[in-house]
Chains A and B, each alone.
Chain A
Amino acid sequence: MDISIIGANGSTGKHIANRILLERILLPTDRLQLVGRAKGSSGQALYGFRQDLKDAFAERCPIIDIALHPEEVVADIIIMTAGSTIQAHNNPDAPPPSRDELAIYNQQIAIPYAEALAKYGHGHEVVIVVTNPVELIVVIFSQRYDRHRVVGMGAYQDSLRFRREVARSVNVSREAVHAMVLGEHGDGIVPVWSGVTIQGFSDNETQRAIRTVRSSIKSIDFPQTLLRMRNEIIKIAQKGDLAEAFQFFDKLPPDIRIMVGPFLTLFSGTKTDIATANATIDFIKSMLSGKDTVIAAQVSLDREFMNVTAPIGAPVIISPKGWDAVYPISLSDGEQYLFLETARSIQEKMQVWKV
């Protein structure tokens, strides 16, 4: 098996490469392809990065290949991490980062890779999209390649965060919590409280625990609650006291912490690349396990779930071939409303971004 990392010189790409080697996901006879751009410093830096990996992993190291043009990308799994990221916004006088600007910039980076894959690919590659806005990049690849082989990481990472935050509030381990986040990897997230199960808890105990910890009784109130609590934490953070902001964060409900956690991390001047790389590696392991696994991930739906046609986080069955089908789960009325509103919002954004 070969894995290609587009954007391997970025911090997330580097962490993913490191984890692939550390966890021996590739054999010494396999190939890890590091993809950068011929123009600019990233292409040059990849030669040094390759040397660093070889120094670190020596005889356990797979073949490490460097590609500087989209048509040179060839692998069984292609991880798309290239692009700009949302920068920390810790200057109260500066405008918040524009999601539209990020989208337009990253779209231009992704299109040549998607077109090269459509032209030179052999139809068996699986594309894992990490770059944001993940819905946009998923649709760019899905329009040019088999959409069932294009999977976005956002909802998977959000679900990991949701499980961790619920576990923290209930005081159990993350492994004991089964939970999903659907919708958008952004403000349009849909935490599926109706599907939460906690190992060792009866249905009644689970319901009581959820009622105690969730941000609002009704899912329909979630977006407003999120906005209000995020504004409160922004005020604290803008005073420059990040310790106090994180103390406040710890007291927030778990569904709010999913969104505010990464935001506050960026605000502090740190990136979320380690958690993103961890989620990506976790995802690859699930996919390669050979077992059909149900996860939440951004896919380009064509009416398979709630009649939605949009790139959106949905419950899907993954295998080494990508996502085979949508897994039918039932949502509460409020969750359905949020999911459909998010789908509508994503469709509008796609029109703005001219996809």
Chain B
Amino acid sequence: MESLENEPLPEQVIILIVRDQPGTLFQISAVFSNRGISMSSIQLHEESIPCNGKRCTRLIIRFFGEESRKKIIIRLLSRLDCVLESDDSG
């Protein structure tokens, strides 16, 4: 009988420095939702980070998916104007 059990997906972590402005979270979450990915957690640091004179903040996003998915998600996020830096936690 064919097994329906799959290997669990690894947890991925993406750290972003984003502009603290209306619409930022909406645009970022759309990148995930349009690709059928559910974010398991979003951690938004309350303290603002000065970044070229603009108010920015650090965003930590966790989700379950393959490494290749993280790679493309980071590339897509980095194309958004509201994302100033993107990195993964390895």
**Which residue of the partner chain A has the closest CB to B72?**
A122
Q: Flag if A33 contacts B34 (CB, 8 Å).
A: no
Q: Does B34 lie within 8 Å of A74, measured CB to CB?
A: no
Type the 1/0 row for A118-134, where 1 means its CB is closer than 8 Å to any CB of B. 00101110000000000
Distance A30 CA – B80 CA, assembled complex (angstroms): 11
Q: Mark A43-63, 1 if CB is under 8 A from B, else 0.
A: 000000000000000000001
Q: Cβ of A30: which chain B residues have Cβ within 8 Å of it?
A: 30, 34
Q: Is the CB of A120 within 8 A of B75?
A: yes
B79 touching A1 by the CB < 8 A rule? no
Determine how close the nearest CB of chain B comes to the CB of A331; give it in whole angstroms.
Answer: 40
Inter-subunit contact B79/A29 (CB<8 Å)? no
Interface centre among A31, A72, A123 (most CB of B within 10 A): A31
* 8 Å CB interface, A121-151 against B: 122-124
Chain A residues near B72: list those with CB within 8 A. Answer: 74, 122, 124
Q: Say whether A29 contacts B30, CB under 8 Å.
A: yes
Kindly state the separation between the CA atoms of A120 and B33 in the bound complex, as whole angstroms: 22
CB contact under 8 A between A74 and B76, given known A29-B27, A29-B34: yes
Q: Name the A residues within 8 Å of B27 (CB-CB).
A: 29, 63
Q: Give the total number of A-B pairs whose CB atoms are below 8 A apart.
A: 32
Q: Which residue of B lies closest to A122 (CB)?
A: B72
Q: Is A184 part of the binding interface, using a Cβ–Cβ cutoff of 8 Å?
A: no
In Å, the complex CA distance between A124 and B71 comes to 12
Given A63, A67, A72, which contacts B80 in the complex, CB threshold below 8 Å? Answer: A63
Q: Whole-angstrom distance between the alpha carbons of A27 and B30 in the complex? A: 10
Contact A1 B34 (CB under 8 A): yes
User: Please, which residue of chain A has its CB at the minimum distance from the CB of B77?
Assistant: A74
A72 to B75: give the CA distance in the assembly, Å: 8
Residues of A within 8 A of B80 (CB): 31, 63, 65
| Closest residue of B by beta carbon distance from A65 | B79
B68 on the interface (CB 8 Å rule)? yes
Question: Given the known A-B contacts A29-B34, A30-B34, are A122 and B79 also in contact in the complex, defined by CB atoms under 8 Å?
Answer: no
Residues of A within 8 A of B69 (CB): 122
Q: Which residues of A contact B71 (CB under 8 A)?
A: 122
* Contact, CB under 8 Å: A31 / B68: no
Q: What residues of chain B lie closer than 8 Å to A33, measured between beta carbons?
A: 79
Near A by CB (< 8 A), chain B positions 1-29 give 26-27
B79–A74 touching, CB < 8 Å: yes
A321 to chain B, nearest CB (A): 15
Nearest chain B residue, comparing its CB with the CB of A123: B68
Select from chain A the residue with minimum beta-carbon distance to B70.
A122
Least CB distance from A323 to B in Å reads 22
- Chain B residues with CB below 8 A from A29, complex form: 26-27, 30, 33-34
- A255 proximal to B (CB < 8 A): no
Min CB–CB distance A118 → chain B (angstroms): 14
* Binary flags per residue of B64-90, CB closer than 8 Å to A gives 1, else 0: 000011011001100110000000000
Interface residues in A20-52 by Cβ distance below 8 A to B read: 27, 29-31, 33
Shortest beta-carbon distance from A189 to chain B in Å: 37
| A126 CB → nearest B CB, Å | 14
Chain B nearest CB: distance from A247 CB in Å?
Answer: 50
| B76 in complex: contacting residue of A31, A67, A123, CB < 8 Å | A31
Contact B75 A31 (CB under 8 A): no
Complex A-B: 12 CB contacts under 8 Å: A1-B34, A29-B34, A31-B79, A63-B80, A65-B79, A65-B80, A74-B72, A74-B75, A74-B76, A122-B68, A122-B71, A122-B75
Q: List residues of A whose CB falls within 8 A of some B CB.
A: 1-2, 27, 29-31, 33, 63, 65, 67, 72, 74, 120, 122-124
Give me 8 other A-B pairs in contact (C-beta within 8 A), A29-B30, A120-B75 excluded: A29-B33, A30-B30, A30-B34, A31-B76, A31-B80, A65-B79, A74-B72, A124-B72
